[in-house]
Amino acid sequence: MSEALALVCRYFETIEEASLARIDAVYAPDAYFKDPFNEVRGVEAIQRIFARMFVQVHAPRFVILEVIGDERGAVLTWEFHFRLRRFTRAPHVIRGASHLRLAADGRIQYQRDYWDAAEELYEKLPVLGGLMRGLKRRASH
């Protein structure tokens, strides 16, 4: 694994609210970021997404499971552990993957996160979860 990629992984595995002040060490100024809820460009917009994460969930933590890549980019598989601030304080885990392209200086230029919002999040919410699980049962063979 390249040094730049190791730095990116370390940043995400140790991310905390205070570390958002140095997010520009990991993201290029005009970086692109997309996940199931957001699509933004620019390090400031990406920083706002992560800042909102700390408001919406309690004890967020990423665990990088696998890294496939080099100094140009990578695919990371990960788990995102958290507790919801509303509804329930039970621990939750979202499993997903990130496709990263790195700029020449090693910072993230492009990030596309892939995870199933219905299965990994909506099904775990009290009222909406029952509806989502019912729809899933009806759609299955």
In a domain, 132, yes or no: no
- Who contacts 55 (Cβ-Cβ below 8 Å, separation ≥6)? 85
Average pLDDT over residues 75-100: 88
- Report yes or no on 29 lying in a domain: yes
End-to-end CA distance of the chain: 42
In terms of pLDDT, which residue wins out, 90 or 127? 90
Concatenating the DSSP letter of every residue in 57-95 gives EEEEEEEEEEEEEETTEEEEEEEEEEEESSS---EEEEE
98 lies in some domain: yes
| pLDDT, averaged across the chain | 87
Q: What is the pLDDT of residue 117?
A: 73
Cα torsion 129, 135, 140, 141 to 10°: value is: 130
pLDDT score, position 91: 87
Least confident of 22-31, 66-75, 113-122: 113-122
The domain total for the chain is 1
Residue 113: strand pairing partners: 98
Query: In the prediction, which pLDDT does 69 show?
Result: 94
pLDDT tens-digit map of 107-136: 999 999 999 876 655 555 555 555 544 554
For range 15-28, the mean pLDDT:
97
| Average pLDDT rounded to a whole number, residues 27-34 | 98
Residue 133 covered by a domain: no
125: in domain: no
134 or 19, greater pLDDT: 19
Q: In which domain, by residue range, is 96 found? A: 3-115
C-alpha–C-alpha distance, residues 123 and 136, integer Å: 10
CATH number, domain at 26?
3.10.450.50
Q: Is residue 99 part of a domain?
A: yes
Q: Is residue 111 part of a domain?
A: yes
| pTM for the predicted model, two decimal places | 0.82
What type of residue is 103?
Answer: A
The total number of residues shown for the chain amounts to: 141
- Is residue 74 predicted with pLDDT exceeding 70? yes
pLDDT band at residue 90 using 50, 70 and 90 as cut-offs: confident
Say if 134 falls within a structural domain: no
